[in-house]
Structure 1
Amino acid sequence: MELWKAMERDHAEQLVLCQDQFSGLKAVIAIHSTRLGPALGGCRMWDYGSEEEAIRDALRLARGMSYKCAAAGLAYGGGKAVIMGRPDSTQREAIFRSLGRFIHTLQGRYITGIDLGTTVNDMDAVRQETGYVTDTTGSLCATGDFTAQMTAYGVFLGIVESLKQVYGSPIMKNLTVAVQGLGKVGTFLCRYLHDAAARLIVTDVDDQRVRSAVQQFGATAVQPDLIYACSCDIFAPCALGGILNDTTIGQLQCSIVAGAANNQLAEEKHGLMLYDAGILYAPDYVINAGGIIVTAAELSDCDRAEAKRQVECIAATVSTVYQASKLEGIAASTAADRLAEKQLSRPQP
């Protein structure tokens, strides 16, 4: 893998390869941008197929965090840590303490937190070696499921703005939403939608989650590969990334795509494909920014009420993106990128 070319492609500032033979740590820390402030982004633990796959994932995710922070108006940049493999419980604390030592050498350029495969206990271990960490025991983000709830809340507000754009009304009663993915965020989103009297179609690879959603929300269940072709008003992807692609976009029977998943567009061109198909796309990193907004609020010692108020600003950002899309005749995904890139390129004091 040509590391310099990979960094240039994603416009990354820094790439740190971390190895500790005593703990067994093998990790990558990618910092995309610190122009607006320290890079924020969680630590992901995954069974990557290769070192190249781990590096590409870290760079891609770090870039996404920069755009997410910039579009949300936060004084932070984007970064990501990924750990290769899934250690057993006897290794885990040592591995995360080792990661904490590597993070500390960056002197505040990168602040980590929970992501896929990591927990509050892992962040507690990182905390033993550095203060550049969030989501530790007793923190705002680690209390209950507040981060997941606020992420879903921001997505719900983005859906409401999308309804105004397409239907001229925020009323959700009797509209149908197809929710793909019933993890914590997807389930919280279902609750918000159900309370707003929407009809739900749901799917997940976990049958128990599906049964629970059917029972709680009166949802209709479908198999995972059938969700794209469901006739609905809104398709809400809340699971894996890259699901809006050459194959799936042609199957969609909706007016709006708005969900919590990261990196929903397989390629940049797919935002234009949705636009050309007359489907309004709520850019993922704009409407799913509730989690990172809460993290930034935690770092500023805000309480839950203030954090929620800041998440509510997502509605105005979504509206701004749609206005730019309409005014300039460009896809909403392009309008969002331009908004984020304008923030990232502004002169620094």
Structure 2
Amino acid sequence: MQTPWGFPDFDAHEALHFVHDAATGLRAIIAVHSTHLGPAAGGTRFWHYADDADALTDALRLSRGMSFKNAMAGLPLGGGKAVILAPADRSKTPALLAAFGLAIDQLGGQYVTAEDVGMSVSDMIEIARKTRFVAGLPVAGGAVGGDPGPHTSLGVFLGIKAAVKHALGKDSVAGLRIALQGAGSVASGVAMHAAAEGATLIIADVDGPRAQALATQVSGSVVDPAAILSTPADVVSPCALGAILTEQSIAALKTPIVAGGANNQLATHADGERIHARGILYAPDYVINAGGIINVSTEYVRDGDASLVRQRIEAIPARLEQIWADSASSNRNPAEVADAMAMALIGR
């Protein structure tokens, strides 16, 4: 595998840890992008990658995104991310999770983990048996903690409403068409919020039955995953995996707004300018999808309760408005504006 320093997404990471435990088959990467504002916090992704280079690129991009996300959300956390290289059958054992917990613990608090794609609350329980540097753990009703997914969904929905207000002058998504890419935890939460306010949902997911089940639940419709980004809609909401906004997909967009919960939606920096040049309003992903890490931070730092979590999530639209206002006044695209803000906050 090529040395990490040669990867375009390396971006002066503070540390990279390659983890291997032969007894359990664990292979993982823990990427620490920045600890300028606090311990590097970000979830663990359990995913089957085509090759090791793809896993490294994902870890680097995701950890940098967490630095930016945590900084823009005003959290006392730096940015990091872990990926566990899953086997083709995506099986995992308590022993593998224990070995991963030990690897985190050996970093002495440099990195704090939580749930991401492929990981659950029960997985965090297993990891927590070996380290205290973990969040997203089950809690009693009303307390801060648990699955961060619903909090991410709420923030994304509020961000969509802010985008609709900014671009379309509407205070509600009632009667609007939202093309939702994904039908997982975050996407499902967004769909529920939007449907409750009267939006029409068009849904796509690589798991066809899952897409159909969500569509049935929200009285929506299903389209082929290859068609979702080019579906005519008032809002296109990417809520699956990243790097889906490319030169080709941006050219095919038929929407005035792109606002969704997926991380690293832009395939390259140039794609931020491409979407802006088309006159499409873009909500930078690490700003709109910060609800989950806001909940994780409040749980881990213990600096507030559930009402404060809600208050912090409800501040997401104001941050987006600031980015869009700065974009309009400076003629820079929103992704560029947000990156500049975040880099200043982490001292880069």
Q: Give the TM-score, by structure 1 length.
A: 0.92
Deviation at 1:84, TM superposition (A): 1.8
8 A Cα contact 2:4 2:10, kept in partner: no
The corresponding residue for 2:136 is 135
- Relative to structure 1, is the Cα distance of residues 87 and 330 closer, same or farther in structure 2, using a 3 angstrom cutoff? closer
- Give the partner amino acid of 1:4: W
In the comparison of the two structures, how many residue pairs are matched?
Answer: 344
- The CA distance in 2 between the partners of 1:342 and 1:97, in whole Å, is 37
Deviation at 1:218, TM superposition (A): 2.1
- The CA distance in 2 between the partners of 1:142 and 1:89, in whole Å, is 26
The corresponding residue for 1:203 is 204
The one-character-per-residue Cα deviations of 1:264-290 (angstroms, maximum 9, x if unpaired) are 111111110111000000111110111
- Relative to structure 1, is the Cα distance of residues 225 and 74 closer, same or farther in structure 2, using a 3 angstrom cutoff? same
Is 1:306 aligned to residue 312 of structure 2? no
Deviation at 1:127, TM superposition (A): 1.5
Is 1:16 aligned to residue 17 of structure 2? yes
What is the percent sequence identity of the aligned residues? 39
- The CA distance in 1 between the partners of 2:183 and 2:301, in whole Å, is 31
Q: How does 1:270-349 map to 2 (within 5 A)?
A: 270-301=271-302, 302-345=304-347
The corresponding residue for 1:252 is 253
The corresponding residue for 2:76 is 75
The corresponding residue for 2:58 is 57
- Give the partner amino acid of 1:98: A
Deviation at 1:90, TM superposition (A): 9.6
- The CA distance in 1 between the partners of 2:225 and 2:320, in whole Å, is 28
Deviation at 1:48, TM superposition (A): 2.3
- The CA distance in 1 between the partners of 2:71 and 2:277, in whole Å, is 27
Deviation at 1:57, TM superposition (A): 1.7
The RMSD of aligned alpha carbons is 2.1
8 A Cα contact 1:260 1:284, kept in partner: yes
Deviation at 1:68, TM superposition (A): 0.7
- Relative to structure 1, is the Cα distance of residues 62 and 195 closer, same or farther in structure 2, using a 3 angstrom cutoff? same
**Mind listing any 5+ residue stretches in structure 1 that lack a counterpart?**
none
- The CA distance in 2 between the partners of 1:232 and 1:310, in whole Å, is 29
The one-character-per-residue Cα deviations of 1:274-325 (angstroms, maximum 9, x if unpaired) are 1100000011111011111110011133332221221111111111111111
Deviation at 1:19, TM superposition (A): 1.7
Helix, strand or coil: the match of 2:206?
coil
- Relative to structure 1, is the Cα distance of residues 215 and 97 closer, same or farther in structure 2, using a 3 angstrom cutoff? closer
Helix, strand or coil: the match of 1:248?
helix
Deviation at 1:169, TM superposition (A): 2.9
**Mind listing any 5+ residue stretches in structure 2 that lack a counterpart?**
none
Q: Which aligned segments of 4 or more residues in structure 1 are displaced greater than 4 angstroms? A: 87-91, 139-142
The corresponding residue for 1:40 is 41
- Relative to structure 1, is the Cα distance of residues 63 and 175 closer, same or farther in structure 2, using a 3 angstrom cutoff? same
- The CA distance in 2 between the partners of 1:57 and 1:116, in whole Å, is 12
Helix, strand or coil: the match of 1:186?
helix
Deviation at 1:164, TM superposition (A): 2.0
The corresponding residue for 1:241 is 242
Q: How does 1:111-260 map to 2 (within 5 A)?
A: 111-138=112-139, 143=146, 145=147, 147-260=148-261
- Relative to structure 1, is the Cα distance of residues 305 and 267 closer, same or farther in structure 2, using a 3 angstrom cutoff? same
Range moving further from structure 2, 65-74 or 167-176: 167-176
- The CA distance in 2 between the partners of 1:253 and 1:334, in whole Å, is 23
Helix, strand or coil: the match of 1:29?
strand
8 A Cα contact 1:28 1:58, kept in partner: yes
8 A Cα contact 1:120 1:142, kept in partner: no
Deviation at 1:173, TM superposition (A): 2.2
- Give the partner amino acid of 1:10: D
- Relative to structure 1, is the Cα distance of residues 194 and 141 closer, same or farther in structure 2, using a 3 angstrom cutoff? same
The one-character-per-residue Cα deviations of 1:128-184 (angstroms, maximum 9, x if unpaired) are 2211111234376764x5x22211111111111112211233232222111111111
- Give the partner amino acid of 1:319: E
- The CA distance in 1 between the partners of 2:123 and 2:104, in whole Å, is 14
